[in-house]
Amino acid sequence: MIRLFKVKEKQKETAENAKENGLVKKQSAGELRLHRDISELNMPEECKISFPNGKDDLMDFEITITPYRGYYMGGGFVFTFKVPAVYPHEPPKVKCKTKIYHPNIDLEGNTCLNIFREDWKPVLNINTVIYGLYHLFTEPNHEDPLNQEAADLLRDNPKLFGLNVRKSIEGNIWVGGAHFPR
What CATH number labels 27-173? 3.10.110.10
Mean pLDDT of the chain: 87
Q: Which helix (H) or strand (E) holds 81?
A: strand 77-82
Q: What is the pLDDT of residues 5-21, one digit of tens each?
A: 554 455 456 556 555 65
Positive or negative torsion for Cα 126, 29, 91, 54: negative
Q: In sequence order, which ranges of 42-173 are alpha helices (DSSP H)?
A: 126-138, 148-156, 158-170
The one-letter code for the residue type at 58 is L
Residue of 94, 100, 112, 165 marked active site? 112
Structural domain spans, the chain: 27-173
Q: Catalytic annotation on 112?
A: yes
Confirm if 120 and 90 have CB atoms less than 8 A apart: yes
Give residue 61's pLDDT.
Answer: 96
- What number of CA atoms fall less than 13 Å from residue 42's CA on the CB side? 3
DSSP classification of residue 129: H
Q: What is the pLDDT of residues 9-66, one digit of tens each?
A: 554 565 565 556 555 567 788 889 999 999 999 999 999 999 999 888 889 999 999 9
pTM above 0.85, yes or no: no
